[in-house]
Structure 1
Amino acid sequence: MKKLIAVCCMGISLLSATALHAAGTVKIGGLFAVTGPAAFLGEPEKRTLEMLVNQANAKGGINGVKLEAVIYDTGGDATKAVQLATRLIRDDRVAVIVGPSTTGESMAVIPVVEKEKIPLISCAAGIKITDPARKWVFKTPANDHVAAEKILNQMAKQRQNKIALLTVTDGFGSSGREQLKALAARKGFRIVADEVYGPKDTDMTAQLTKIRGIKPDAIICWGTNPGPAVITKNVKQLGIKTPLYMSHGVASKKYIELAGADSAEGVMLPAGKLAIYDVLPKNDPQVKLLREYDQAYRKSFGSEASTFGGYAYDAFLLITGALKKAGPGAEQIRNGIEQASKLVSVSGVFTMSPKDHNGLDLSAFEMVRITKGDWALVK
């Protein structure tokens, strides 16, 4: 009889908990660089998360659970990101955090979420964020070695062997530089120049003049705006005809705007499919979702959706998929994210595992060439 009573009490307790969750709210934290040099990343991420939360709540939430986005502006500052992550967890009681926008911020926040056991879905690309895999840490941009490999594969097709590197000295640039050098060595390319620049540098003619004298087959610039836009202008000003490749860190129209269509003409880079969905084959599994996201974003904010906002979209789908599959608790959400399989989203088709907390491969990117101020698919 005692056992029967215990079982009944447990059943009532579980039903009560389910009812509480159904009537309650799941808080999603957001850490985005809405202002500062990385605002071109953080602003569309913030807007996208807010838009998707509003859309979900308008439809009754996820399995009856309403969502609330609690978002803070980090300004791209790692110290501030750590402070705000702590605030989200301890004061706001979020169940999961999306962001930060940059690699440096994300690496700084990781110890906080690991200690507090709250899942983090970073919107930054640095491979060290999820390699090696950490229990509570995921990210949605494809690993930078995937983008690096796309560039080198294109260079191999063009028989370009001698590479000049020009990378920014922040977390994103340092990680990209490391991956490029490792992959180049394995694939038989020669690094003939290895130059760097600071995130706040406003002129790179000295590095480019040195590179011009070495006569490489191609130049690879790895960074996020405004630096790459400055470099693109400098290349044009110096009359350098060497093919210029950029990283996926500039895969938005903002880069073309900053560099100028004339200077950016012919620049190639790996880009997520959002930038070029209108020229993709109609049977591509992402096309429908990409079109719907772009149209919804344009309707809400009067501008096209960007690849960077897509990182927050991916995180939202991973979170809501986990809510449906596993439940609203922090550990349930973490487990549900890790179980994501063949999840079609903006940045690609995600399949996570205990050993892979990024879940994307080479198919996440297409090589594009800037042609007359717009993207063109490299065949």
Structure 2
Amino acid sequence: MQRKIRANSMKAVLVTIILCLVSTSWAMAESVYKIGGIFSSTGRASFLGDPEQKTMEMMIEQINAAGGIDGHMLEAIIYDSEGDPAKAVSAVNKLLHKDNVLAIIGPSTTPTTLAIVNFVERAQVPLISCAAGVAITSPVKPWVFKTAQSDLLAVAAVYKQMQARGIKKIGIITVANAFGESGKNQLMEQASAFGIEVVLAESFGAKDTDTTAQLTKIKSASPDAIVCWGTNPGPAVVAKNAKQLKIDIPLYQSHGVASPKFIELAGDASEGIMLPTGKILVTALLPDDDAQKPILEKYEADYKAKYNSNVSGFGGYAYDAVNLLAKAIKGSDGDKEK
């Protein structure tokens, strides 16, 4: 009888321990804030997505090492879109309905971002895109944000520089996707305000390996300069073809190629090309009293130490996105609307 009582007592203790462990595990799971990420980590746009994914993972590690946010640890759940809008849609559905994330950072490109905007709006989950197209946030969408400089701002920066150089006539060549179309619209709409005339507009496919025909047409229109709007590898092809055709007028590119990858792809054809970008690529050249310099230096040092590679402006978009989201989460109790 006594053995039976002891056995029952042991069972009761074991059940209590198991329940405590389950409760603790449940509480720990509940205390984690899941943050989604969608990046072009592989494929043709990996020069965008790879540094973005690495930066997001690094920043979340740093936040957790410092105690998380309001005592909550962050968990990164990241999917690779490979730069494909259809795969971005598949990823966002997993993040929203399977992973139940608090917010999403990315995607890396304008086409993949625009493909998922309606999904996050319906689900009322905050999205901070790392892409540039002005259509991502215009008109204003309450649940959608972005960190990359808008092509509206980038085009204005290019035109301001052209205006200072006395450039009056330009030819444009843009990639045939949402990013290129958005850039083309801004190039066309803003031209007159800067006293610039677009004499010819051509386009190229994202996978095209030759743009000689388009550039030959632009050259025959006698512009003072050419603007190419796209993301690698197309703009590098344009640069090489322009050199082969001995086009000796200024060639401008978009901030979509603001990374060492463009120089790697274009080789010596990249010499003399101008483009707008943030300060991250020229951190060492900034004056010591620049307010952004210490932040850029720390990010650069942290990234190099962890990944043994150079930073890019694209990784910088994810750096900003994680920091913005961390500030937004603080004091929200995990309420998406807050």
The TM-score with structure 2 as length reference comes to 0.90
Aligned pair 1:253/2:252, yes or no? no
| Partners of 1:130 and 1:139 within 8 A in 2 | yes
From 119, 122, 147, the counterpart of 2:129: 122
The structure where strand makes up a greater share of residues is 1
Instruction: Give CA-to-partner distance per residue, 1:201-233, whole Å, 9 cap, x none.
Output: 000111111111222100000000000111111
Instruction: Give CA-to-partner distance per residue, 1:267-317, whole Å, 9 cap, x none.
Output: 011011000111112121111111111111111111111100111111101
Pairwise mapping of residues 134-145 of structure 1 onto structure 2 (< 5 A)? 134-145=141-152
Say which SS state the counterpart of residue 271 (structure 1) adopts: coil
Instruction: Give CA-to-partner distance per residue, 1:127-173, whole Å, 9 cap, x none.
Output: 00000110100001011010000000000000001010010011111
Distance 1:277 1:104 in 2: 30
Residue 14 of structure 1 corresponds to which residue in structure 2?
none
Aligned pair 1:308/2:314, yes or no? yes
Residue 318 of structure 1 corresponds to which residue in structure 2?
324
Residue 216 of structure 2 corresponds to which residue in structure 1?
209
Letter of the structure 1 residue corresponding to residue 305 of structure 2: K
Distance 2:249 2:135 in 1: 31
Say which SS state the counterpart of residue 331 (structure 1) adopts: coil
Higher gyration radius (CA): 2
Aligned pair 1:273/2:279, yes or no? yes
**Gap regions ≥5 residues in structure 1:** 1-19, 333-379
Letter of the structure 2 residue corresponding to residue 132 of structure 1: P
Deviation at 1:85, TM superposition (A): 0.5
Letter of the structure 2 residue corresponding to residue 71 of structure 1: I
Say which SS state the counterpart of residue 151 (structure 1) adopts: helix
Residue range with higher mean Cα deviation, 247-256 or 75-84: 75-84
Residue 196 of structure 2 corresponds to which residue in structure 1?
189
Residue 364 of structure 1 corresponds to which residue in structure 2?
none
Deviation at 1:328, TM superposition (A): 2.0
Distance 2:121 2:170 in 1: 39
Distance 2:326 2:28 in 1: 14
Deviation at 1:63, TM superposition (A): 2.3
Deviation at 1:235, TM superposition (A): 1.1
User: Moved runs in structure 1, 4+ residues, more than 6 A?
Assistant: 20-23
Count of matched residue positions in the alignment of Structure 1 and Structure 2? 312
Distance 1:116 1:224 in 2: 30
Distance 1:33 1:281 in 2: 34
Residue 359 of structure 1 corresponds to which residue in structure 2?
none
Distance 1:160 1:186 in 2: 13
Distance 1:73 1:92 in 2: 15
From 112, 123, 148, the counterpart of 2:119: 112
Say which SS state the counterpart of residue 134 (structure 1) adopts: coil
Instruction: Give CA-to-partner distance per residue, 1:317-363, whole Å, 9 cap, x none.
Output: 1111012243422112xxxxxxxxxxxxxxxxxxxxxxxxxxxxxxx
Deviation at 1:92, TM superposition (A): 0.5
Aligned pair 1:25/2:32, yes or no? yes
Letter of the structure 2 residue corresponding to residue 225 of structure 1: N
| Partners of 2:243 and 2:269 within 8 A in 1 | yes
| Partners of 2:163 and 2:195 within 8 A in 1 | no
The TM-score with structure 1 as length reference comes to 0.80
Residue 345 of structure 1 corresponds to which residue in structure 2?
none
Residue 101 of structure 2 corresponds to which residue in structure 1?
94
Letter of the structure 1 residue corresponding to residue 284 of structure 2: D
Letter of the structure 1 residue corresponding to residue 188 of structure 2: K
Letter of the structure 1 residue corresponding to residue 147 of structure 2: T
Distance 1:174 1:327 in 2: 40
| Partners of 1:21 and 1:328 within 8 A in 2 | no
Residue 133 of structure 1 corresponds to which residue in structure 2?
140
Letter of the structure 2 residue corresponding to residue 299 of structure 1: A
Aligned pair 1:175/2:182, yes or no? yes
Residue 78 of structure 1 corresponds to which residue in structure 2?
85
Identity of matched residues, %? 50
Say which SS state the counterpart of residue 221 (structure 1) adopts: strand
Distance 1:22 1:79 in 2: 31
Instruction: Give CA-to-partner distance per residue, 1:225-270, whole Å, 9 cap, x none.
Output: 000111111111111101000000010011011100x211110110
> Residues 324 and 140 (structure 1 numbering): CA distance in 2 closer, same or farther, change over 3 Å?
same
| Partners of 1:199 and 1:227 within 8 A in 2 | yes
Please provide the CA RMSD for this pair.
Answer: 1.3
**Gap regions ≥5 residues in structure 2:** 1-26
Say which SS state the counterpart of residue 110 (structure 1) adopts: helix
Pairwise mapping of residues 292-307 of structure 1 onto structure 2 (< 5 A)? 292-307=298-313
Distance 2:335 2:263 in 1: 42
Letter of the structure 2 residue corresponding to residue 326 of structure 1: S
From 228, 246, 271, the counterpart of 1:239: 246
Say which SS state the counterpart of residue 70 (structure 1) adopts: strand
Distance 1:205 1:111 in 2: 38
| Partners of 1:229 and 1:258 within 8 A in 2 | yes
Distance 1:140 1:313 in 2: 9
| Partners of 1:22 and 1:64 within 8 A in 2 | no
